[in-house]
Amino acid sequence: MCGLAGIVGRVGEANRLALQRMTDAMAHRGPDGDGIWMGPADARGWGVMLGHRRLSILDLTSAASQPMTDPERGDVTVLNGEIYNYIDIRRALGAQGQTLWSSGDTAAMLRLISMHGFDAVQELRGMFALAVWDPRRSELLLARDALGIKPLYFMRNHDASGDWTFAFASEVRALLRSGLLRKPRLRRSAVASMVWNGFTVAPETIVDGIESLWPGEMRVYSQDGRELRRKRYWTQAALPRNGESTDQDVAMALEDSVRRHLASDVPLGVFLSGGVDSSAIANVAKRVSRDPVHSFTLAFAEQERNEGEIARAVSRAIGTQHHEIVLRQEGFVDRLDEAMGSLDQPSFDGLNSFFMSQAVAQAGFKVALVGSGGDELFGGYTSFRDLPAMAAWSRRLGFVPGALRNAGARAFARWKAPNGGAFRPQTRWAKLPTMVEAGDDLLALYQCAYALFLPDTHRSLLGTAAQGLDAGYMGLSADVVAALRAEVEGRSDLSSIAALEQRLFLGERLLRDADSTSMAASIETRLPLVDQQLLEAVAALPDDVRFHPVRSKAMLRSAGLQGLDPALFDRPKSGFELPYDHWLLGALGSEVGEVLTDRDLMASVGLAPTVVADLWRAYRSGAPGLYWTRIWCLYALASWARRHGLSVESAP
């Protein structure tokens, strides 16, 4: 787990300094070492420059330092992440008579790609973003792992007379720090996405001019920065649909994934909330690990959010060495600025991972396994129950005229979610008319169900950020809508919901937030349940085995909780969330209210100041159906923009 950066442009001091600023901005991602490589220039002085920050996990010697050059073939790479099948790759290379200079994963990856070409990236299993320079072809490869665990951002120079054409990095903030983007500003469509979803959705980022590679994408560039090739080498559309996998296949794939994720030359722990997902990871880790398993839990004074006692009971049953960290409101408020500063892009989530990662780092660990991904794999969210039911009812009632269906939905919504003040409740019942209009379109139903606000409230909150939005906007760009529809085409309702959860809620919220907030503490988080081969094994299960009973995650319980008393997990599902709802009515509310009532700040980020202020007052007064997520989303957006000095208009 590291930070990478690169520039394609004039090989000289100006670009070297820009690259150094990018790597310096990512010092938290790699406090164990840094380096810059400047390739040979062509006839007009153009070339490739690579930078890296290192967090030493595998092969702690200087032989694994980056940028790494293959001593025999001359290829150069920078890698962020882990290649979990690197031992298999090393064995295969050894069988071909190849010897490597480092015992880590980067050398194995580099020699594989050097020998077999850029398409060999498809043979990598892991979480990674990488760049590889091939001196024989004078071509640069950029690639991102299949499930999008590790980020990779890039920007182009539209000034043909400039000294650079292309730059990339592991963080949006690093590209901003480079100074190459002369007049950075917020992207209006990304602001609209943030207010709809609570996060931006790749390939857009919150900054106009900075984009993200798609999950499972590779791109190839020439020495002068021209794009030569673009390919999605893996998408969920390729997942098996044969129903031929068995529970034993899944159990073996889970154990294999956990074992590979345990590979480390430094101390390693497990985030343990006491829920099914993290408990399954800790339980399997204890079974397959040769070393003691350390578990960590974040506990709260507010008992309704506190899972400390449950996690302690699970830890005792598994046999982990347990550590509990209690986070109180005053400690959260005292470190709020630092926590918000850990976010690479604004998000209404992620700070729980920040505080957990800080505690794990203070305990002397550099790697932590987390349980994210189980709900998406095995149908743990209410979306798996509600959305297929909505789609089924829409099909059954297709004979009823649309006007009559819509009128009935509006009347029912008024009864279930009556208007209690300036803002209608922003709940799923209040969304019923919009969902009825969506019919059996699962993507539209999904986006409506997860929207933070009703469509008309969303529009009213946007000021200048509403410019250019289509009338039927549902929180996603047209490119993303097309890609998602292709990924779910021909699938059952349940497997379609799983694909959407994997790509959006997990991929664009949980994974990205966990990456930036954990790396702020120089902690590598690993996700055994977010593994390409495990997903392929699970996707090949029949739906009635994979998902039923819906929301029970029975398959994961069977595969991961062997030997544990089922009564430990016989309780309502609760997410791993900080008690914002309590804290926003206490000391935290002062800071949040100051931001949300700052008219100039709200206008600068593309929001409607009066509407935002009214929403804040309605929340503070206890208006029904206004949950903390709606407030925190707007606060996170504005505070991030203020921190980085960005607005929807370019700086002069």
Q: What is the mean pLDDT of residues 135-142?
A: 97
3-state helix, strand, coil in the chain (%, to 5): 45, 15, 40
Above 90 in pLDDT, residue 417? no
19 with 33, same domain: the answer is yes
Tell me: pLDDT of 652 over 60. Answer: no
| Domain CATH for 65 | 3.60.20.10
pLDDT of residue 443: 98
**Residue 414 confidence (pLDDT):** 86
For tokens 């919901």, what's the residue?
497
What ranges make up the beta strands (E) of 345-396?
367-369
* Same domain membership, residue 256 and residue 316: yes
- Statement to judge: residues 39 and 104 lie in one domain: yes
- Tell me: do 214 and 253 sit in the same domain: no
Give the residue from 234, 253, 274 where a domain finishes.
Answer: 234
Domain containing 182: what range? 3-234
Distance (Å, whole) CA 389 – CA 399: 17
CA distance 517 to 350: 7
Catalytic residue status for 2: yes
Q: Final residue of a domain: which of 443, 474, 498?
A: 498
Is 247 in contact with 542 (CB distance < 8 Å)?
A: no
How many independent structural domains does the chain possess?
Answer: 4
For residues 451 and 593, membership in a common domain is answered with no
SS3 368: strand
Mean pLDDT along residues 494-519: 97
93/40 same-domain check: yes
What pairing do the DSSP bridges indicate for beta strands 210-212 and 153-156?
Answer: antiparallel
- Residue 402: pLDDT band with limits 50, 70, 90: confident
User: If you average pLDDT over residues 137-145, what whole number do you get?
Assistant: 98
In a domain, 651, yes or no: no
- pLDDT tens for 227-244 read 999 999 999 999 998 899
The pLDDT confidence band at residue 429, using thresholds 50, 70 and 90, is confident
- What burial class does residue 436 get, using C-beta atoms within 10 Å of its C-beta: 0-12 exposed, 13-18 middle, 19+ buried? buried
Q: What is the pLDDT of residue 651?
A: 58
443 and 316 belong to one structural domain: no
**Structural domain ending residue among the three candidates 438, 469, 498:** 498
Nearest Cα to Cα of residue 88 among 263, 216, 233, 232: 263
pLDDT of residue 21: 98
* pLDDT, tens digit (0-9, with 9 covering 90-100), for 596-606: 999 999 999 99
43 in a structural domain: yes
Query: Are 568 and 592 within one domain?
Result: no
Distance (Å, whole) CA 582 – CA 510: 22
Least confident of 190-194, 416-420, 564-568: 416-420
Identity at 228, one-letter amino acid code: L
User: Which of 156-163's residues contact partners 24+ apart within 8 Å by CB, and which partners?
Assistant: 156/209, 156/225, 157/9, 162/9, 163/9, 163/10, 163/12, 163/14, 163/15
Structure token pair of residue 416? 């279930």
pLDDT of residue 428: 85
Residues whose CB falls within 8 Å of the CB of residue 19, separated by 6 or more in sequence, listed in order = 5, 6, 7, 36, 49, 50, 51, 178
Q: Is residue 626 part of a domain?
A: yes
Q: By C-alpha distance, which of 82, 73, 22 is closest to 52?
A: 22
CB 150 within 8 A of CB 129: yes
Q: Decide: 637 and 191 in contact? Cβ < 8 Å.
A: yes
The single residue listed with the structure tokens 């060495």 is: 321
Residue 649 lies in a domain: no
pTM for this model (two decimals): 0.97
Domain membership flag for residue 75: yes
What would the two tokens of residue 287 be? 């079974």
Asked if residue 504 is part of any domain, the answer here is no
Query: Residue 187 is encoded by which pair of tokens?
Result: 């992207």
Task: Identify the residue with better confidence: 417 or 458.
Answer: 458
The residue type of 507 is: G
pLDDT at 573: 72
Q: Are 264 and 58 in contact (CB under 8 A)?
A: yes
Question: What is the three-class DSSP state of 324?
Answer: strand
E strand intervals along 151-190 = 153-156, 164-169
Q: Are residues 189 and 288 in the same domain?
A: no
d(CA 45, CA 196): 45
32 & 163 share domain: yes
Q: Are 38 and 133 in contact (CB under 8 A)?
A: no
pLDDT surpasses 70 at 305: no
The reported pLDDT for the residue numbered 650 is: 66
Q: Which two tokens stand for residue 100?
A: 């490597």
365 is a domain residue: yes
Residue % of the chain over a pLDDT of 90: 88
Q: 575 versus 357: which is more confidently predicted?
A: 357
Q: What is the torsion angle, in degrees rounded to the nearest 10, for the CA atoms of residue 595, residue 601, residue 605 and residue 607?
A: 80
> From the candidates 2, 299, 369, 442, which is the catalytic residue?
2
pLDDT classification of 565: cutoffs 50, 70, 90: very high
pLDDT at 302 over 80: no
pLDDT digit string (tens) for 57-92?
A: 999 999 999 999 999 999 999 999 999 999 999 999
pLDDT digits (tens, 9 = 90+) for 239-278: 998 899 999 999 999 999 999 999 999 999 999 999 999 9
What's the whole-number mean pLDDT along residues 397-409? Answer: 88
Pair 482, 516 in one domain:
no
Tell me, what CATH number does 288's domain have? Answer: 3.40.50.620
Distances (CA, A) of 429 to 315, 337, 502, 581: 39, 36, 25, 21
- Please enumerate, as own/partner, the contacts of 453-460 that have beta carbons within 8 Å and a separation of 24 or more: 453/195, 453/196, 453/426, 453/630, 454/424, 454/426, 454/430, 457/423, 457/424, 457/426, 458/192, 458/195, 458/196, 460/608, 460/611
Mean pLDDT of 143-149: 98
Please name the amino acid found at residue 385: R
Same structural domain, 367 and 446: no
Tell me the pLDDT band of 420, cut-offs 50, 70 and 90.
low
Per the annotation, does 105 bind a ligand? Answer: yes
